Structure 1
Amino acid sequence: MTWTEEQARALITDTGTLKRGQELAAPAKWGNLGRTDTAAWGECKGSGSKPYQTGIDLTAPAFKCSCPSRVFPCKHGAGLLLLLARQPQLLSPAEPPGWLQEWLDKRQQAQEKQVAKSVDTAAAAAVDPAAAETAAAVARQKREVQRQNRMQRGAQELEIWLVDIIRAGLAALDQQPRSYWENQAARLVDNQLPGLATVVRELPALRHQGADWPSRMLSRLGELYLLVRAFLRLPELSEDARQEVLQLVSVNLKKEDVQATQPSVTDEWRVLALATTEEDRLTVRRAWLQGQRTSCFALVVEFSFGGQAFATPLVPDGFYEGELTFYPGLLPLRAIPGQLTFQGIQPANPVPPGSGGPGQLLAAYAAALARQPWLREWPALLGGGVPVPTAEGWVLRFPAEPSAAGMVGATSVTNRLIEIRLLCDDSFGWELRAISGGFPLTVFGEWTGQGLRPLVGWDTVAELQTS
């Protein structure tokens, strides 16, 4: 199994740990280095008399170190992983030392207990599956009613506020101070509707951003009004629609409830792209996966606070065999990882299967939008486009397809070309251009309805990923 430095960096979420780990990724800092197919270890020289014993379970991956740090990976674990990626020949094949083997055995025993617990739970439900499902449905309905009662007042106030905006006209919004929006958002938070509050806070930024801002403002207000009306009529909606609306207004579903009530999908999952954002000390990671047998996409969103490791270790282009459980909704995309077994990394980075052209993407997006009108992003695997800089920004240029011309985000340049707008900065655009060499490539990203936010691109010999 070969590790790249980029894949190693993806597991080190804390920037300070990464910096210190890079300083320790030097052969002179280590002794007693070794590895097997599933583990790596070494002793890192520190200020004390005894070196720090550092090990990595490469199947998860997971880290162990004798240092007092509570952050995993610590700087020693980060240094060892980077050293493994940069100079794997330094870690000779050997039998794991006793301290590492003991830790690996405990991890194996814990995994076996978890599997046994899952089997016992399934067996208990199998005794009377109808009764178990009925009880679960009643409990879910009871929780939903309680939540609805607490949030009805906030939704009704927001509906009146939106109607007042339309009656006064969009021109009046130009005169409204920041407090006009913040006060309404604060009331929504007080009424336990933080999802709606987030949308309200985004509205003032739309003013005077481009000549078409009134159209985009009206569209966003319409989406928000539709969501409020849907929430106020929850009992009339289907189960999937109810769950979708509740999640959009930020009613969080417990992972345990989702895994207990929703079917799981077993497949070999490939990590197509990892995108992380950081605010204060909270890091959010969005991981897009693709099933190798089912070809379906899955979005795994996880959070890390204060530099702690993410709950599910994922590396770019890694393959994982196991289960994902999808959140309920009109278009299930977000998923919860179950037992995932790391299968390795594809060394050649081949282009993932299933790519299509602009016509296929826009048709799929239109169908998805018809089912879920509040859709903000849609997984897009586009093949055959050439990244090109223009005066308005970067685009992917394709041979013309009649079915794509004239639709949002696609512009017919001539009778033989179609352009898909790329929502990326100039630096990433040039990186895509360098990868393509001016020839067609395959790009995976998030389609927003206004363009494609590219996350990763492939050609036949190289791969590019965002950090």
Structure 2
Amino acid sequence: MTQQGVRWTTDQVLAMAPDAASRKAGSKLGAAGPWSATGSSDEGAVWGLCKGSGSRPYQTIVDTGAGAGGGAGPAYKCSCPSRKFPCKHALGLLLLWAGGDAQLPAGGTPPDWAEQWLEGRRKRAESKEAAAAAPDSAAPPADPEAVRRRAERRAQRISAGVTELEQRLADLLRGGLAQAEQAGYGMWDEAAARMVDAQAPGLAARVRELGAIPGSGPGWPVRLLEECALLHLLDQGWLHRDELPDDLAATVRTRVGLSPQATAAPARDHWLVLSQYDSADGHLTTRRVWLYGTASERTALLLSYGAAGRAPSLALPVGLTLDAAVSRHPGAGSLRAELGGQFGVPSPSPVRPAGVDVAGALAAYGRALTDDPWLVSWPVTLADVIPTQDPDGGWQLADSDGKSALPVTAQAIASPGLWRLAALSGGGPVTVFGECGHTGFRPLSTWTPDDAAEVISLC
């Protein structure tokens, strides 16, 4: 087998799409009709010319792994004006490549325009490696005293904002929660803006979410009170951060909105890409990628962001493994990590995470909450569960013995992925990876019930 390894499946390609519109447009370009001068190399590069609306075809190239650049994840280049990564042309080219040698042959030599881009990636990768190997030749470090003063000024601004927020929460509870329903979003938007001014974006996001709770249905005062209590706990954690254990203090700083830096030594492993999905808040698109170390049996979370309608640049093929180095962020029970260099192209692996039953999933989430009380969900692999409808019309994942079940989140019920999971199950037990939280379980991926054990994305 060449270094390129197996080609991606259609599902793995479509899972890389930044949004539904790109997925649909890319699917239309996954046939040979608009393409010419296509090919792929043993090092993982795929290229082609796609006929568009103009007189000149779009030059499209994809580095499917670390073959040319040694970077974090696949990379794309297209001469089209799209701001999405990958664009529809890159998706169409990958779909063509996924069809096998009959549609796009292997073992080719990149044309000059593609080779120039690949060579640029190689040089940048070599420069990074050289800089890492020779730290003395790097740029001089910032003045530590100036760094300390900036950090101190920001901490003072955050403390002032936290003190103001505590007063707002006290006024709300003193006047009664009913006033929150009458005030609408305005009260919370104003408070969130003040947290932005205080350079505490994490607090701003949590405050902004409170505005959607009043009037959200039966029991909203209880939900609002719970969220206010968690916000108060975070405020107090920040004000008393010097008294906390180091890991918990790091968690508080992260939750407030200070960007953590990966401090642990990079851990090289074969990381299975379990899931990838995006969420948007109107200003920022966040991409969450879950990895599982096949040797270390550790789970890691990669986050990347895209602003103002741009999709995040990091995109990894769900179901394949990456031979890569991953550095963990500090924090109590933190799974957040940074993807470092890769040492080969993505490849398949028969390894999957060890599954647990419903009780085991709840216990894992409970243990994680002791380290991070503000945790919304925790990654869990459920083994031998059956998707079924509950008496109220919702959905749940039940243990095969019928003793326990986890409700499926409303967000997942509205997704077509749940119906795909039900179809794959056919009424029988399946293994499902997802996020277990206080609102239920969100299925993110599953495995085909056969010896091949292919990972199927449910996002």
Task: Give me the TM-score of the superposition, normalised by structure 1.
Answer: 0.83
Tell me how far apart the structure 2 counterparts of residues 69 and 432 of structure 1 sit (CA, whole Å).
Answer: 33
Aligned counterpart for 2:94 among listed residues 75, 81, 96: 81
Runs of at least 5 residues in structure 1 that lack an aligned partner in the other structure: 125-131, 401-415
Residue number in structure 1 paired with 2:293: 291
Alignment of 1:283-432 (within 5 A): 283-305=285-307, 310-346=312-348, 350=350, 352-392=352-392, 393-398=394-399, 417-423=403-409, 424-425=412-413, 427-432=416-421
Name which of 438, 441, 455 aligns with 1:449. Answer: 438
Residue 14 of structure 1 contacts residue 307 of structure 1 at CA under 8 Å; is this kept in 2?
no
2:71 equivalent in structure 1:
none
- Quote the offset at 1:176 in angstroms: 3.7
Do the aligned residues in 1 keep the contact of 2:286 with 2:305 (CA within 8 Å)? yes
Q: Aligned partners of 1:361 and 1:186: how far apart in 2? A: 37
- CA distance in 1 between counterparts of 2:119 and 2:207 reads 51
Q: CA deviation at 1:12?
A: 3.5
- Asked if residue 36 in structure 1 is aligned to residue 45 in structure 2, the reply is no
Give CA-to-partner distance per residue, 1:188-212, whole Å, 9 cap, x none: 2222223222222222433354544
CA offsets, 1:32-65, max 9 Å, x none?
A: 3322332222333456666444332222432344
Partner in structure 2 of residue 406 of structure 1: none
Pairwise CA RMSD: 3.0
Contact 1:301/1:334 (CA < 8 Å) preserved in 2? yes
Higher relative contact order (CA 8 A, sep 6+): 2
Post-superposition CA distance 1:222-254 (Å, at most 9, x none): 11111111111122223322221122111234x
Paired residue secondary structure (2:102): helix
Q: Is the 8 A contact 2:234 2:252 kept in 1?
A: yes
Identity %: 37
SS at match of 1:31: strand
Q: CA shift at 1:66, angstroms?
A: 5.2
CA contact (8 A) 2:323 2:346 kept: no
Q: Does the C-alpha gap of structure 1 residues 13 and 251 become closer, same or farther in structure 2, counting only changes over 3 Å?
A: same
- Note the 1:65-144 alignment, pairs <5 A: 65=78, 72-86=85-99, 88-99=101-112, 100-121=114-135, 143-144=150-151
Q: Residues of 2 paired with 1:85 and 1:337: CA distance?
A: 25
**Aligned partners of 1:357 and 1:111: how far apart in 2?**
44
What residue number does 1:404 align with?
none
Q: Work out whether residues 421 and 458 of structure 2, in 8 Å CA contact, stay in contact via their aligned partners in 1.
A: no
Q: Structure 1 residues 112, 238: CA separation in 2 closer, same or farther (over 3 Å shift)?
A: same
How far the C-alpha of 1:342 sits from its partner, in A, is: 4.6
Contact 1:266 1:323 in 2 (8 A): yes
SS of 2:232 mapped into structure 1:
helix
Q: Counterparts of 1:68 and 1:183 in 2: how far apart (Å)?
A: 38
2:155 corresponding residue in structure 1: 148
Matching residue's letter, 2:396: V
Q: 1:413-446 CA deviation, whole Å, 9 max, x = no partner? A: xxx6111111121543332211111111111111
Deviation by residue 1:138-184 (Cα, 9 ceiling, x = unmatched):
88765543222112221111112222333334345444443333332
Query: What is the alpha-carbon distance in structure 2 between the residues aligned to residue 79 and residue 428 of structure 1?
Result: 22
> What is the match of residue 259 of structure 2?
252
- Return closer, same or farther for 1:440/1:30 CA change in 2, 3 Å cut-off: same
Indicate conservation of the 8 Å contact 1:11/1:309, yes or no.
no
2:190 match:
183
- Equivalent-residue separation in structure 1 for 2:168 and 2:323 (angstroms): 49
Quickly say closer, same or farther: Cα 1:23–1:298, change in 2 above 3 A.
same
Between structure 1 and structure 2, the one with the greater Rg is 1
Number of paired residues? 435
Q: Distance in 1 between matches of 2:35 and 2:287?
A: 31
Distance 1:71 1:326 in 2: 28
Q: Residues of 1 paired with 2:81 and 2:418: CA distance?
A: 43
Residue 140 to residue 17, structure 1, CA distance change in 2 (3 Å): same
Amino acid at match of 1:337: L
More helix by share: 1
The within-5 A match list for 1:165-180 is: 165-180=172-187
Alignment partners' CA distance in 1, 2:244 and 2:29: 57
Q: Distance in 2 between matches of 1:144 and 1:335?
A: 23
Deviations 1:93-128 (A, max 9, x none): 34314413343333223222212222223999xxxx
Residue aligning to 2:3: none
CA distance in 2, matches of 1:389, 1:319: 34
Q: 1: distance between equivalents of 2:29 and 2:183?
A: 54
Cα distance in 2 between the residues matched to 1:212 and 1:69:
45
Change in Cα spacing, 1:31 to 1:334, as seen in structure 2 (3 Å) is: same
Out of 274, 277, 286, the position equivalent to 1:275 is: 277
The CA deviation at 1:262 is 3.5
Question: 1:455–1:159: structure 2 CA closer, same or farther, 3 Å change rule?
Answer: same
Secondary structure of 2:325's aligned partner: strand
1:355, 1:383 within 8 Å by CA — same for their partners in 2? Answer: yes
- Structure 1 window deviating more from structure 2 (328-337 vs 100-109): it is 100-109
